Structure formats: structure tokens, C-alpha cells
Amino acid sequence: MELDPTSFDSLAVIDLFSGVGGLSLGAIKAGFRLLAAVDNDARTAKVFCKNFPECKHIQQDIAQLAGDRLLELAGVGKRTVHGLIGGPPCQGFSRIGHRAIDDARNTLFDHFFRIVAEIRPWFYLAENVLGILDAPFETLRKNALARLEGYRHIEPMILKSSDFGAATSRERVFFIGYIGEHFNEMAVADFRPPDIEPMSVQEALLDLPLKIDPSWQKESEGWRRLNRSRKGKHQNSIFCDFTSGTGDPEALRRLREERQVSGCLGTKHTKAVLKRFAKLKEGSVDSISRAVRLERKGFCPTLRAGTGPDRGSFQALRPIHPTQPRVITPREAARLQGFPDWFQFDATKWHSFRQIGNSVSPVLAESIMRIVAAHVRREGNCNGK
């Protein structure tokens, strides 16, 4: 490996398929420098730049991007990149979708590994839905991994966000590989914190406004003050932690000085829907919308992103608030996914929920990246730093 051996004190990554930045945020909180991020969606790129003002964002189609060109656009050399991370689009692999083998989005998983092969960083980490492990996609997986000569691959790991302190039971599979002779063998048990404090839906939504006016439809109307409820240490570490180099200045100011958060947008339900939701017990599924009512002492199920603009602008199915006869707000969804209160999303509800539903939980990402960082540094030390 040709990495500069003096660089192991400041590990650096590039996030491919960065989306709104859940994996990026986790990496930064774990101590990595985020050299650049790549995503082809203009709306998501705009929000990413707001949350990560010091990071170079590259709005490009990964399928059309060569490794050398990526480094050129990022303004870095191969010797400065320790890892490539990212979550290639998962819709074609999802068990709730059509799962067409020839779905063009499926090829982006292979393109992730193509770029890894071209840049040859110290490690890679790719995230996706569990459906990618199913038999129809075995050839795709094998061909992608076969690109990486000289890499050792950890057995794909299925990890649940609630095991890492987020209030959602969302499960995803992680592919991790590395170059090096001195890495300790990594297993699922290595990545699960032994002393994690579980967070329930009730704890995650603590101090957010309960009463949401359906008329709050504009971005400016979604800014609301937090209640005075006391958070515990665990909640504060997730929702109120300020990370150097991240955050929109105005969002940070409003949170610090005025205790205001964005995304408290309302949804206009009919009287019949309000009546139906009010009667629904926690944990039950609405017979018509098929939306689940969240349980205060439980975890939120996987938040769904819904269809993209290319397939029709349809709102994704959203959970129902555990005590209020309404679906959750974007800010509530962000809390359940593990995003801090300063984190910004699109001005619209539809795009906000898409961005949150497509994201990796930052809580989970941070924990994984801390373990990876420890292994990378150990490898660096063994190679004569």
C-alpha cells in the first residue's frame, strides 16, 4: 500500500453516493476527515453542502466517473485517501420493490467497487439493504468483489440501528474490506457497543412540539421551539452535539440561542382520518393507509423513502405519532433516524422524508467508523509509522 505512513493520525475518506450525509456525519464524528462527497441528485447535494460547508461536494454520475477524475475533482492524491465509503442505491434490491435484475440502479453497486479498484484505498465500506444478499444478486456481488485484487473482505454484516443507540430498528448490510496483513479479524460482535443505552421512540421525540398545526406547510413555518423537557446524556450526545466543521451557521445559531429546530411541518388529514388515527392503538396498523402507529416504549420501524421523481412524486408511507392523531413530521423522522437537531433537510416534506429514508443512521455510522479507524491505525503502526 502506498499511503503516506505519516498520515495515520488524520484518517481521510471520500463518501460515494453520499445522499444527505448520514454516513458522512458518522465518519466525521468518528474522527475521519471528509475529503469529498459525491452524489448525482441536485436537491440532495444542495442540502449536503449546507450541512457540510467545508467539504468538497461533487455532483456527478458515479457510473461516468473514473477514479483518477474523482481524485482530480476532490483535489487530492491517492496517498491521502484512507477509505472509500458509501451506500449505492438500494431500490433495485429492496424486498418491497419490483427487484428487476436489469434495474439500471443495480449497476451502481458494481461501480462503487470499480472506483475502489482504481483508487485502492486502505479500506472500503459499502452499505445496502438486506435484499442484496438474496440469490438473484449473487453474481452481481461476486463480480463486484472480484474487482478488488489484494483486498481481504469481511463477511457481510447485518446491523440494526437500535443496537447502536438510534430509535429505529432499521437493518442494513455492510460490506467492509481492507488491504493489510496486520488487521485483526473483525466480526459483527466487534461493532456492537457492549454498553449501549437503547433509545425508545418516546425518548427520541422528547421535547419536540406535540401539537403540529396542519397549516404549517412552508419551510419558515416549520421552525419551532423545543419544549423544556430534560434530555438524558445519551439524547444530548446525539441530538445536541455540535461537530466542528459541520452545520449551517443560521441553523446552529437558532438552535443554540433560540432553541429552535426546523422541519416541524404539518400534514392535512381529513376528519375521517383523524378519527381513525385517534382510535388506533400503539403498535397497530391502520387498515386503510397501512401506516403503523409508533409505540412510545418501542423502536420505529424502517423509515421508507418512497419513489423518486423519475417514478412519480408519491409520498412515502409515514408512521403515525404514538400519542397524536397525525403522521410524524420530518424533524421527528430525523430524531428517530439519529440526526442531530442542527441537521437540515429539504424545504419540502416529500424530499425531506426521501432524504431521511435513504440515509444511514449517523449513530450507527459513527460506531462502525470508530472501529474501522482503530483497525486502520493499528495497521499503520504495524507498517512502521
Q: Annotated catalytic sites, by residue?
A: 90
Distances (CA, A) of 102 to 92, 107, 148: 9, 9, 23
Pairing of strands 83-86, 123-128: parallel
19, 39 contact by CB (below 8 A): yes
DSSP secondary structure of 69-101: HHHHHHT--GGG--EEEE----TTT-TTS---T
In this structure, the number of other CB atoms found within 10 A of the CB of residue 362 comes to 30
Distance CA 233, CA 171 (A): 25
Q: Which residues pair with 127 in a beta bridge?
A: 174
15, 24 contact by CB (below 8 A): yes
Helix intervals (H) in the chain: 22-29, 42-51, 67-74, 107-119, 138-146, 188-191, 201-205, 233-239, 249-258, 271-279, 330-337, 349-357, 362-382
DSSP secondary structure of 322-335: SSSSSBPPHHHHHH
